[in-house]
Structure 1
Amino acid sequence: MRTFRPKRRRPQIHAGTPVWLFDLDNTLHHASHAIFPAINSAMTQYIIDALQVERDEANRLRTGYTQRYGAALLGLTRHHDLDAHDFLKYVHTFPDLRAMLRSERGLKRLVDALPGRKIVLTNAPEAYALDVLKELGIERLFERVIAIEHMRDRRYWRAKPDHAMLRRAMRDAHVRLADAVLVEDTRSHLKNYRRLGIRTVWITGHLPQHARPNGSPARLPGTGRPHYVDRCIRSLKSLRLGTRPGRPIEPLTEHPAWR
């Protein structure tokens, strides 16, 4: 005999009181275009030089620590004698940041139109985050940047998706978890933080895609309709829809690749 289970209603994001927590890379700009390849290359080279290992081993450490801890820096500082600040500066310094940036047209207008407070929450260092926001012309739209330097505690460096770090950061910013809306490209971060009662928006428009043989975009690896995602969007334009006072944002939408 089959047991009837009522469908769980997805919470709606209401206008008027949200606190938007924006990730930076591949959320507010298209980091996969040039910046992520440059950061990954610089991380690998730094590990080669600092730990005196071969390139394959450096790549293994970089990707393994990123998957395990949310940021390669956390694994490198916990398991190796490495200068965290020097590492962050080395891998996030670019000779011409402006030329490497790509973002949505009308980005400033799109972010500014959202009701409520706006905060950047990024595993990148503060100096890099501020430079990116300045080059994008949106630095004045955010009340603060919570970068990886602000996430550490007395013992360890921490990063998204650490629960204790987020609770502490939200207390410091006077944000109730129930009011927070995380806009993020990384599914594991959304999944972990949805458990805290935060509303989640998965933005997919900047994620790398692989073309099918006929040239059409392929399905993003690992995509589906995650139960921990309240909203899935390709563009920040979708956040603006239905945000007039007293009106909920439009219901959950699907990525075109799911259809």
Structure 2
Amino acid sequence: MSTVWLLDLDNTLHDAMPVVFPRINLAMTEYVARTVGLPHEEASELRVHYWRKYGATLLGMVRHHGVDPRDFLRETHPFPDIHRIVRRDHRLVQAVRRLKGRRVIVTNAPMHYAARVVDALGIGRLVDGLVTIESMKFAGRIQPKPSKAMLRRLAARLRVPPHRCVLVEDSVENLDSARAVGMRTVLVTGIGHGHRHPAERPRAGLGRRMDVQVQSFEHLPRKAVRTPHRAR
């Protein structure tokens, strides 16, 4: 049975820090301000609070303010110019192509945004599926990364045991959940974090162990072939 690569999108396959994330954060803050009736600064604090508590601002807005998830996702990811912001990189295309097995994008972003980013990156023909936040739903509730239950269901949906999956991410919290359900893990530390002080970049930290840690996704294929399969 071949490996299934579960590839995060923002800050894993491309750098979302300079333009994409600031625009999403601003759009979310404005949405929170309109919906809850808060000034900009307080709305921004509430947005961050929900993101830290639930893993996605959307969940807090649905749970506490009854917003329509589709409306929230549509209004907070307005990128008609995504092909100008996200550029194709032949090194990324080659790196994705060299991964042996199935390749599935798994992102907490909405489908309309993720599909356009994948197209802009030039990797659409190289991936076997797109799992976005709309499909991370169970019993009427959206359960995005780092939900362990969602990751287990995802492996079942892909008809592969968790230990055959490799989650490639820039989020240590998401990778912790993947390890807990038996998946292998790759931490990407550099993309989207290169402008930060080294102490602020994602690291596994004490008590955490990742199978592979790379500075950028382009370094992964060379290391991945040397990563041993963990016995189960």
How far the C-alpha of 1:104 sits from its partner, in A, is 4.9
8 Å CA contact 1:180–1:199 kept in 2: the answer is yes
Give the Å deviation of 1:249: 3.7
Change (3 A) 1:203 1:94: same
Which shows bigger deviation, 76-85 or 224-233? 224-233
Q: Aligned in 2, Cα 1:126/1:170: closer, same or farther, shift over 3 Å?
A: same
What is the SS of the residue equivalent to 1:106?
A: helix
| More displaced 10-residue stretch of structure 1: 174-183 or 164-173 | 164-173
CA 176–56 in structure 1, closer or farther in 2 if over 3 Å, else same:
same
Assess if the C-alpha contact under 8 Å between 2:29 and 2:44 holds in 1: yes
Identity, % of aligned pairs? Answer: 38
Partner of 2:79: 94
The superposition leaves residues 177-233 of structure 1 with CA deviations (integer Å, 9 ceiling, x where unpaired) of: 01010000011111122111111100012133556xxxxx54325635452311110
Cα contact 2:3–2:101 (8 A) shared by 1: yes
1:197 aligns with 2:175: no
When residues 104 and 233 of structure 1 are mapped into structure 2, their CA distance, relative to the original with a 3 A threshold, is: farther
Q: Structure 1: 5+ residue runs without aligned partners?
A: 1-15, 212-216, 251-259
Secondary structure of the residue aligned to 1:241 is: helix
- Tell whether 2:102 aligns with 1:117: yes
Of the three residues 240, 243, 252, the one matched with 2:221 is 240
1:55 and 1:219, CA in 2 relative to 1: closer, same or farther beyond 3 A? same
The match for 2:199 is 219
Distance 1:223 1:106, change over 3 A: closer
Spell out, residue by residue over 1:55-103, the C-alpha distance to the aligned partner (whole angstroms, 9 max, x if none): 1221121111111111110111011121210110111121311121156
Whether the 8 Å contact between 2:108 and 2:144 is mirrored in structure 1 is yes
Shift of 1:242: 5.5
For residue 229 of structure 1, what is the amino acid of its counterpart? Answer: M
Q: TM-score, normalised by structure 1?
A: 0.81
More helix by share: 2
Q: Secondary structure at the match of 1:219?
A: helix
Flag structure 2 segments of 5+ consecutive residues without an equivalent: none
- Higher Rg of the two aligned structures: 1
In 2 relative to 1, CA 82–59 (structure 1 residues): closer, same or farther, beyond 3 Å?
same
Query: Which residue number in structure 2 is paired with residue 54 of structure 1?
Result: 39
* Structure 2 residue 41 is matched with structure 1 residue 41: no
Task: Report the Cα distance in structure 1 between the residues aligned to 2:49 and 2:70, rounded to whole angstroms.
Answer: 20
- Secondary structure, in 3 states, of the residue corresponding to 1:57? helix
Mapped pair 1:167 → 2:168: no
1:132 alignment counterpart: 117
Distance in 1 between residues matched to 2:198 and 2:169, nearest whole Å: 21
Corresponding residue for residue 63 of structure 1: 48
2:144, 2:10 → 1: CA distance?
14
- Pairs aligned (count): 227
Report the Cα distance in structure 2 between the residues aligned to 1:106 and 1:92, rounded to whole angstroms: 27
Contact preservation (8 Å) 2:204, 2:210: no
Q: Distance in 1 between matches of 2:7 and 2:209?
A: 17
Shift of residue 141, structure 1, vs aligned partner:
1.1
How far does residue 148 in structure 1 lie from its aligned partner after superposition? Answer: 0.4
Whole-angstrom distance in 2 between the partners of 1:219 and 1:161: 23
RMSD over aligned CA atoms reads 2.0
Which aligned runs of 4 or more in structure 1 are off by greater than 4 angstroms? 102-105
